[in-house]
Structure 1
């Protein structure tokens, strides 16, 4: 094994490798990021350090995304490319694609070195432009400032920069750049090609193994890191040179390294190893000048795996097994290989103090799930895949998502992004460390993201709903899946029957209600066995999303809350109206517990500005309360202490929550009440079954507010069946706790 120290200056400090600054340092890592999931169906993807383009499965249209244009935005900004394509390749700053209609080649982007391949003096070509290349193309590769193709006859053509002789000619005359496709001389015929920075490697056709082609690897151009694989590590190679007589079925080039799959379906890599992208510890192996087998010292089963395809990024390597499972190794500074960057990684610190993380030991991209993958691509800080279900996922972005509001159900959570108002939703069944869990406090995973921009969302037990700023139809609903697997996900469907804009919708266990944005009228749907729809009868709606108007002349509403079998709403005059069952005192009117009301009943002598409902109780914030008044009013079930009474199990009269003068908001769920103080501290009382209130006594009912998560401050809080989650004041990210 020939090992040479990297040309960077090297220093050792404790167990960390110290390197000089590289290009990746210009990316501000900040809080590490999340997975982005894009709904839709895609067949293939290509990516560079600015954009990602994906070809759609059914239409062959191309959807592209500006990955980092807005560092706070997920999903990223999307744009379309004219034309339909069957294959696309993205270089450093230019893109080429093969037309699905006539197999012609189209290119666009930066053209300073002629890499677009058209006679145009412009340094940037915005729209796809047809390249004057008449032969049918079977393989294409774009790199920093070059484009290469293999035609149907097995000949290689290239154009763009030639500063390292990466486009040799028969006269061995060096030229700087050309926009004219030039045939690269060689007596061999080729079937695959891949290129990195100023070098190119290709596979010659030597035979067939069934339907699978195989051949030898030939390389040309820059050889600074031994990427030619010929045992040398200096001087440009000015003609296609065979690296060995071994046969390979596939190859891929990164920025300065190469990997290939042998006919035995094993991985071999060579070239630069500064981030462990060859699977060797970068402290000991800077680069390799000949192909070496990929090893895994911590996974005894790895050597038994067989691989079928490759994708190399700037400083990492990913390969897909014959079972369609992706394995990756190399740079994981931005979480682009999945999991926490520090976990199982070797820290590499630059002289400026920036810390990178080398995960040189091959690992599953998604260790907690067996999601099957059909395509993979990556760049310096993100890795993207197309699953077997043709859905797109990306790992490694800039920051956690930040939120303006949250809503939790029994096992499902939705939040509205504080930047682009998309609804991010996720199932909690798999646990916060699960692959598809959520970004709420696991920084490297994100939930499903809506394509709509929502102003408010509400999560129920079985389905969720939200309202947008659209008109006239702005209400959407979707079912809560049992797991967060992409195949189980559902997407928002518009509620056609609500044919005017709504300002708010609230989903309960078996009914839901919405408020009209224009009139303040109330509309309800679902189970009406106790009159909780407020329409004067006890007939449930035939369809779940068939809404009936609640008739209450001259009253408009601004807030609403649901219990299991009752509904309460706050008017624009701060009056409170309730209807439904009164078994636990849900109507708050001091009447008999046996009464049932199917029309709105006004609660006398209270004014509220907001309201929240649990299973069989309600709490709200007083309107126009003085500084020294208790601010929280509750009524209904108190069997777990959720309304703060120490001597009664329920109350049909409204009661003040003792010592609540400093609270500014309230959130309730099942039998638990949580509050936010004016100092942004969180307090809870009631049911403590899952340790939401206290980890010391998880089965004890709490009858007075207890300060929870005392080292954190929250803008808002929401309670679920097993967890509570809050939006942190410090950075607007979400923190969850509970589930003891």
Structure 2
């Protein structure tokens, strides 16, 4: 399905993009784009709008008196026109009479349009009708344009610039405008920054909703009505956590985890809070009878979109759960969470998947090239595309051809060549987990040193394990602070070292532990603080392989986090270790140091433990998940926090992979 753009409302200067400047339109009207052009990002300003196509082309339309279309003129346009000399954009944002966008390749930030208060960030007050580079060399992962200010996220810190007469820039100062990016909030990490008027809101440290600036109409949401607040204050949301937040300047809205319930506060002029009340304002959040996945607010209006309720995709690669770094491959990281399977863009021929920590990889049988594609967070080069600069790659990107196996870990990835069976790894290497005898980060596939032809390979948190073909010898390398290399000691290694002399069918590297299958059953070793070794022992660490209780004939072990699972000799799923989020799947929320049966009602052929949630595939390819669901990782269209027994997702799959807060299936 091609994602198209629609607009409605005032159209006096062509801001609907329909090709005309007719009267206002009260129903969604399609923007005049060529038939096969899909949209990945769209943003509406005051009387103009901008978008980025799925091929990264930035386009704007509508009013242009201040040059906000970026087309090297001040002539308005009633249909989308390409931004001048800007061939590939990543993200884009339309402000009141100006716009900003990042280059897709370098993530450098450019702005254009009105610059009365320094909102372009170019260290002067000159307005520009063409993209002009912001005075910064950083790579930007977020940008939001307001009425006369701009905020963005770079290097995991938040910066703002422009007008500051109400303290809206958030750097504990009032009155002085800023002509270039200034570090705000004392350097604390904020994202989802929203700052249309003189009040800004954001999410602090991933979950905490905060607002700052003007608060006379209660738009700070903390139960007070101060004229100005120079530092962020916590919004009094139920539960104290938010997944999304937006500020129009006069009113603000946020959604909460679990239910995605919408709350709004501040000015209620024209019913902008959506609560069915005639009261003028509210200084604490009020519940709105709506559970959206995406929302925006400007001036007196609030716009929100509820989750789609149509049929689930039944072919191709799908993903669900957390999308904060673009790891679901949707071409955008907004909405930040998806609680039901959605098709990953452009990978219809994928046949194997591996979910990493905040990124994803897949094998694609594309004209028999057996290609690896990866997407999501790339701060340590874990995508293997030659860069490592905190970029979020929101669509699948080709890594290399000629591979038959891929494993995505925490910040590094490993794969096996389809022609030579040689093992390759890339990404973070601080603990030697790449296996090339160094601790140097690698941004492209790098051959593992001294390892014979590999049968399987598994990338963990900071270590890696593999089984060689033919000899079926197991090797591990990398960090060993909990004995996860299985050597009977805590000495790390940047080169593969053999794990006992036994013959292994499979081996997996987890967060701080490892597990593998041998003729006698499944053995685990490493960290055991939550019973994740499955041995019934209370030792905090096990430095050598130790047999899991009752595991004779078991297979398919999965153990990325502190919860491990496998398929027993009766083709039933068993799990052990941490269970506080219900991930043991037996109806309780208790830890267990010995395996417990999970009742799927049928036989299983695959299980994948992401640590806090688990998914399994049955003999007829049905998918079930259980455990933590705060970000929708269970995939059943809810945000109920946990499920301690399996829930059917409603898709058929031939491969599944769970990791942290998201899931992949194909």
* Bigger RCO (CA 8 Å, 6+ sep): 1
The structure with the larger Rg is 1
TM-score with structure 2 setting the length? 0.46
TM-score with structure 1 setting the length? 0.42
